Amino acid sequence: MTPAARLKTSTLLEALQHRLDHDPDGTAAVFVWPDRDDERWTFRRMLGLAWGFAERITHATTDDEQADEPRLTAICLGHSPELHAAFLGALLAGRVPTMVAPPSPRMERRKYTDAFARMLDHVRPSEVITSSSVLASLEELTPEALAGHRLLAAETISPSPARGIPVVSADDVALVQHSSGTTGLQKGVAITHRALFAQLRSYADTLSLTNEDVIVSWLPLYHDMGFVACFLLPLVTGVPVVELSPFDWVARPQTLLTAIERHRGTLAWLPNFAFSFLGSVRTSDGEGAPDLSSVRAFVNCSEPVMAASHRAFAKRWPDVRPSQLTTCYAMAENVFAVTQSPVGEAPRVAQLSRRALEVERRAAAVVGDEPAVELTSNGRPIAGVSVAILDADGASLPEGRVGEIGVKGTSLFEGYFHRPDLTAAAFVDGWYRTGDLGFIVDGELYVTGRKKDLVILAGRNFHPGDIEAEVSTIEGVLPGRVAAFGDSDEASGTELLVIVAESELEDRAVKAKLELEIRKRVAQTFDCTVARTAIVPPRWLVKSTSGKVARADTRAKYRELVKP
């Protein structure tokens, strides 16, 4: 049976029943471990464990909850079969599942506990399924923080006999996605079964998905790229997925490529920084280059696409063909993909005038030796999705003009979970305003930047306000006089975090200690690295007429400060 035939179902529960009836012993997932052999789980085995999770959830459900609308189950687990089974178990128990990030090994315990408490307050799950080790680290949570939330240890749950799979409506909420990030409260994106299947059908068709495909991924499942492309898509279509731990991949990046060779992988999604990262890794003595000829598409997604990252990746691994490198523009609000460059063709790369883009807000060819910007196309909209470039009033702009990217379509979300105020503000005349900037040429989308000040570091989203607030508490920094922003770096293929802080300090050695303290505090609090810091005198930062720090203008001023 082809993936297209499997996509004729209309809800995730129908898809589970269809796989149980027609492909129970097919591969649900292959788990790659650093210290033991790869482990294949059949769909039947995974569903048995899922029923164990469903039974535990249902057993703990009160009569009030049974009479109420479906509740959320937050799943906070790392790379494991339990992560997959917990999601399915929540569905079987009539819950709306949502994936949340487990703690990084480097994050301070207190900081994670605080972030976890905020997650509970924001997501409001009926239960959280997590690991015993996470539960042990949450001992400091107060009874008030835990009120109304049950914490279940995944290790204590065993497989259970199957029961009837429930029936739901295609218009019911299937799941809630949360973008990855720091301690900032993220907007929950409510996705219906109808929108989810519209996305899966269209994207599978765009990729020309077949029974011969094998997806290989190290991506976390709490972010839409890994969750939709490398979990839900294979779950519904029956295409096998080979899954590595994100932490193992960071420690040994070539494991992704060796897994592709071992399992003859055909599809892999990666954020832009990963192409640069893989382009710089060194192999051990006697270790040959992996065979990547089976790959139909490496899909560059989730960050601004840099052609330099593709070139570095292809140079490091000579077997990689330009036609294997594709691009995608995606967001949780559209379930996942908005655009995709053609599989089997190298994406277009444009050399454009920086002045025209930044000052005249239009795409124009470089004239003479003026500064240029290299931009890579993110491809055309997938079927069922429309993209427009909008001006400040929501009117569509012509091709070549830079504006805010607007999206419409059959897979677009209906609103932010429990936030009608945010939902109303996000739409203009039926267009979802993404907050991203770009332009369209020859029907293809080019992303130029972000209207929002989100900072993306190695595929993770950080809210600058959170970082600025933390740095403002450091002795020697003038409170409220801090700017945090990302600055693109071609060498690493991602953004670098820059922090500029005002201070009355004048001694160079003392300022150097303050810079060190800023780096240390941010690393401990947010589990990320500050690439550059600058201690500047009072009133140096650029502020708007409303008194807020103007990050874009401050970044431009900073670039002039550090210009060689």
Confidence at residue 183, expressed as pLDDT on a 0 to 100 scale: 36
Question: What is the Cα–Cα distance from 90 to 113, expressed in whole angstroms?
Answer: 24
Q: Which of these CATH numbers, 3.30.70.3400, 3.30.360.10, 3.30.980.10, 3.40.50.12780, describes 3-251?
A: 3.40.50.12780
Residue of 444, 472, 229, 464 lying closest to 330 (CA atoms): 229
Per-residue pLDDT tens over the stretch 37-49: 999 999 999 999 9
Question: What is the Cα–Cα distance from 76 to 99, expressed in whole angstroms?
Answer: 6
- Which residues are within 8 A (CB) of 444 and not within 5 positions of it... i.e. 6 or more apart? 339, 341, 348, 377, 378, 379, 380
Per-residue pLDDT tens over the stretch 191-241: 999 999 999 999 999 999 999 999 999 999 998 999 999 999 999 999 999
Burial of 491 (0-12, 13-18, 19+ CB in 10 A): exposed
For the record, the structure tokens of 338 come out as 């908005």
Question: What is the Cα–Cα distance from 239 to 185, expressed in whole angstroms?
Answer: 34
Confidence at residue 284, expressed as pLDDT on a 0 to 100 scale: 62
Contact 326, 310 (CB under 8 A): no
What does the chain come to in residues? 564
Which ranges of the chain have pLDDT less than 70? 60-70, 106, 179-186, 283-287, 302-303, 452, 459, 461, 544-547, 564
Contact 267, 301 (CB under 8 A): no
Contact 112, 105 (CB under 8 A): no
Phi, psi of 86 (to 5 degrees): -65, -40
Contact 380, 395 (CB under 8 A): no
Phi, psi of 500 (to 5 degrees): -115, 125
Residue 344 CA: distances (Å) to CA of 40, 160, 204, 207, 315: 30, 44, 15, 10, 19
**In sequence order, what DSSP letters do the residues of 66-86 get, joined into one string?**
HHSS--EEEEE--SSHHHHHH
Two domains, one topology: 3-251 and 455-562: no
* Residue 559 CB neighbour total at 10 angstroms: 11
Burial of 166 (0-12, 13-18, 19+ CB in 10 A): middle
Question: What is the Cα–Cα distance from 49 to 33, expressed in whole angstroms?
Answer: 20
Confidence at residue 11, expressed as pLDDT on a 0 to 100 scale: 97
- Per domain, the residue ranges of the chain are 3-251, 455-562
pTM, 2 dp: 0.85
Q: Cite the DSSP H helix spans in 23-61.
A: 43-59
* Residue 214 CB neighbour total at 10 angstroms: 22
Burial of 371 (0-12, 13-18, 19+ CB in 10 A): exposed
Residue of 376, 388, 483, 384 lying closest to 436 (CA atoms): 388
Domain 455-562: CATH architecture, name and number where available: 2-Layer Sandwich (3.30)
Contact 75, 51 (CB under 8 A): no
Confidence at residue 509, expressed as pLDDT on a 0 to 100 scale: 94
